[in-house]
Structure 1
Amino acid sequence: MESMKQRMLGGKLYKANDLEISVESQRGSDLVWQFNHLAPDKKAERAAVLKQLFHAFGDNNYIEPPFYVDYGAHTSIGDHFYANTDCVFLDTAPITIGNRVYLAPKVSLFTAGHPIDAAIRGEDLEYGKPIKIGDDVWIGGGVIINPGVTIGSDVVIGSGSVVTKDVPDHVIVAGNPARMIRRITDKDHAQWQQQKDEFLTWQQQADESQQSKQS
């Protein structure tokens, strides 16, 4: 017979007061508390706590406290991840995040749900649906991603959006509920490559100027 935790992770109705689930939740709460109360200069210690907290946590990642997650053990994060302050992950069901994903302040990933039927909801039964985020995604401030949503790769989500449906690759979405604004095109890549080239030229000139002053 499946356990209450297996029901939770499988998207079925469950009760959160189950002992196994409660122990795992307490573990997550303790590690989050440790992380949020470490001094700003304790970067190595912060990183070590996050490695313990999450199911997987890649390289070159940074989370700005305060941060909240229900369990942590149900969240997997790739490489080169950044989350600004006040982000919230409710990982009742698995959260999977790819590489080079950036979260602005107050981004919320909500896998948890409650029955629409009020009587059943009142019996403390709940469920979760997984959230998946691909590679190269930038999520603006205050965005909410609802249970069961999959976000593709090379995506930008505008600030304040509420994402209720899957998002395909190579698009910009925004709004409540979020809708596609337009596709990301070769013109976008060319425009930003031009700006990067200008920056590299400036950087080279700045470095040469600094070296000249030191010689």
Structure 2
Amino acid sequence: MSEKEKMLRGEFYNSRDEELIKVYHKARNLLDIFNNCKSNEMVKRGKTLENLLGFKGKGVWIEKPFYCDYGENIYIGENTFINFNCTLLDCNKIKIGKNGLIGPNVQIYTASHPLDSYERVGNIENGGPYRTYANPVSIGDNVWIGGNSCILPGVTIGDNCVIGAGSVVTKSIPDNCVVAGNPCKVIKSIGGKND
């Protein structure tokens, strides 16, 4: 099994693997192009994102600067907007539904490490890097994530949710909720036409 396959299965993997480093460099080059595009270079920006991301739905708009690890593990549904300075660590799949609003400085992480320091760095003695694994993140349709929020590995956010600015999402959130805080908690359910 390749290191990339291990990574996508949520197993410990070597992040310095040759195949992963190639994907990393490809993503960095595309990010450099995207982040240096002029605002009116819409075709160039769009093509660059299509080459970077696993899927980019129609009407997706991403402000620069934008950062990610590999890009190819990011899937974004139609009409989703990602504001300035967002970071998506896509060591596993990040799926974002349609009609999303993602505020500035939002961070979405899939990568993690063992809590025990010996387990985390013990692999260095055997010539490998620190131990890393990654769990996917899934964000439903019509979700608004307020600025400076952080979504942690393995989290699923249901459809029609609002994540308050500055929230740290440590656990999955059901459909139709407003959540906020660190760690975030459900504030109320929503879903009526007048919410």
TM-score above 0.5, yes or no:
yes
Residue 175 in structure 1 maps to residue 181 in structure 2? yes
Which of residues 121, 128, 138 in structure 2 aligns to 1:132?
A: 138
TM-fit CA distance, 1:117: 1.7
Alignment of 1:145-184 (within 5 A): 145-184=151-190
SS in 2 for 1:190: coil
Please give the root-mean-square deviation of Cα atoms over the aligned residues, in Å: 0.9
Match of 2:42 in 1: 43
**Distance (Å, rounded) in 2 between the aligned partners of 1:90 and 1:175:** 22
Aligned-residue sequence identity (percent) comes to 40
TM-fit CA distance, 1:40: 1.3
TM-fit CA distance, 1:190: 2.6
Higher helix share goes to which structure? 1
**Distance (Å, rounded) in 2 between the aligned partners of 1:155 and 1:171:** 5
So what's the TM-score if we normalise by structure 2?
A: 0.94
Match of 1:96 in 2: 95
Match of 1:113 in 2: 112
- Larger CA Rg, structure 1 vs 2: 1
**Distance (Å, rounded) in 2 between the aligned partners of 1:96 and 1:185:** 22
**Distance (Å, rounded) in 2 between the aligned partners of 1:81 and 1:49:** 17
Match of 1:52 in 2: 51
TM-fit CA distance, 1:116: 1.0
Flag the structure with more relative contact order, 1 or 2, with Cα contacts below 8 A and sequence separation at least 6: 2
Letter in 2 for 1:28: A
SS in 2 for 1:26: helix
TM-fit CA distance, 1:163: 0.1
Detail structure 1 runs of 4+ shifted over 4 Å in the superposition: none
Count of equivalent residues: 188
SS in 2 for 1:31: helix
So what's the TM-score if we normalise by structure 1?
A: 0.86
**Distance (Å, rounded) in 2 between the aligned partners of 1:190 and 1:132:** 27
